[in-house]
Amino acid sequence: MKGIFFGVIFFLVVTLVMPMIIVTSCDISIPMKDKPVEKNVVESDLTVTVYNHKTNKIMELELERYLIGVVAAETPAAFEMEALKAQAVAARTYAVWRKDVNQDAGHPQHPGAILCTNHQHCQEWLSTEELKERHGNKWMKQYLPKIKEAVSSTKGIVMTYNMKPIEPLYHSTSGGITENSEDVFSSALPYLRSVSSPYEEGSPVLVDTLTISAREFVSKMESRHKDIQINQRKLASEINILERTNGGSVKRVKVGNKELSGRDIRESFDLRSANFTVDVKGNNVSFTTKGYGHRVGMSQWGANGMAKEGKAFNEILKHYYQGVSLNILKSHKNR
């Protein structure tokens, strides 16, 4: 899920134009996780426009129904309920943030639609038919009601900072600590700060290793950077990590005669994250990565680990998104 570069645009829009989305003026009190959410959520008549990459058509969906398809697509349904609730609030907040930023014009990459179904650009969304095709009838009976409960029990709840919807980035696994937004993207946002994420042991992508040949490494670097000079025979001394971020990602790395970013290396070799080490042995180059994704905002596997430790969804969200408040959407009908 991407879009950090719209952070700056967002703050300009909300200060110059009356927001389309109205929220209550105080942080709501969330009940303990073993009690039902109080029925103090104001009904919202919000709808969202979503460009479907499979049909090449724009859909208009009621917000809460849209969220069911997002949570089911973005998060393992076997996760703890409180983790699914946290995901539902994050997904709802993202949609509201996009609606405020893009308004009726939609996003430049999909005009007329504020959102799309591609997780590499917006949030992934799957229809009921697509979920059934992907998972089968047993999954639909066992897990779809759970997803719907996570969405309905948090209905209307969004995260705000200074009473404005935030850009709630999230990712699979941080590797133990998340990143400051400016160390990965262009904008320094006050709620996207580096925090610990200690409960990710269950993630299948906590640590990963990729091994390629030295020849393949050199060939890839030369194809992406025409002016690079690398001595394949001395490759171990030709790759040097110069600087890391507070969250552990490689910020600067020297490859041959050229200084590159860790993000460039990650993209070049399709690594799971930019938090990596490099080991050259014989004719092979091995990358060992920690985490999966951009590692900014909420770690989904970290959220599940916190839920297993007894944390409620509001506690999870306020850990990964620093200084935010949880508020209720107001209906346009009540304005």
Q: What's the pLDDT score for residue 24?
A: 57
Q: Report pLDDT for 331.
A: 60
| Tens-place pLDDT, residues 89-114 | 999 999 999 998 887 788 888 899 99
pLDDT at 6: 44
pLDDT at 120: 85
Is the pLDDT assigned to residue 64 strictly greater than 70? Answer: yes
Domain boundaries in the chain?
6-169+299-334, 207-290
**Would the pLDDT of 35 be above 60?**
no
Supply the pLDDT for residue 21: 55
- Reported as a pLDDT band with limits 50, 70 and 90, residue 22 is low
Residue 314's pLDDT is: 98
One-letter-per-residue 3-state SS of the chain:
CCCCCHHHHHHHHHHHCCCCCCECCCCCCCCCCCCCCCCCCCCCCCEEEEEECCCCEEEEEEHHHHHHHHHHHHCCCCCCHHHHHHHHHHHHHHHHHHHHHHHHHEECCEECCCEECCCCCCCCCCCHHHHHHHHCHHHHHHHHHHHHHHHHCCCCEEEEECCEECCCCEECECCCECECHHHCCCCCCCCCCCCECCCCCCCCCCEEEEEEEHHHHHHHHHHHCCCCCCCHHHHHHHEEEEEECCCCCEEEEEECCEEEEHHHHHHHHCCCCCCEEEEEECCEEEEEEECECCCECEEHHHHHHHHHCCCCHHHHHHHHCCCCEEEEECCHHHC
Confidence check: pLDDT of 37 > 90: no
pLDDT of residue 328 exceeding 60: yes
Q: State pLDDT tens for residues 163-204.
A: 899 999 999 999 999 999 999 998 999 999 999 999 999 999
For the segment 200-258, what is each residue's pLDDT rounded down to a tens digit?
999 999 999 999 999 999 999 999 999 999 999 999 999 999 999 999 999 999 999 99
Task: Give me the count of residues in the chain.
Answer: 335
- Give this prediction's pTM: 0.86
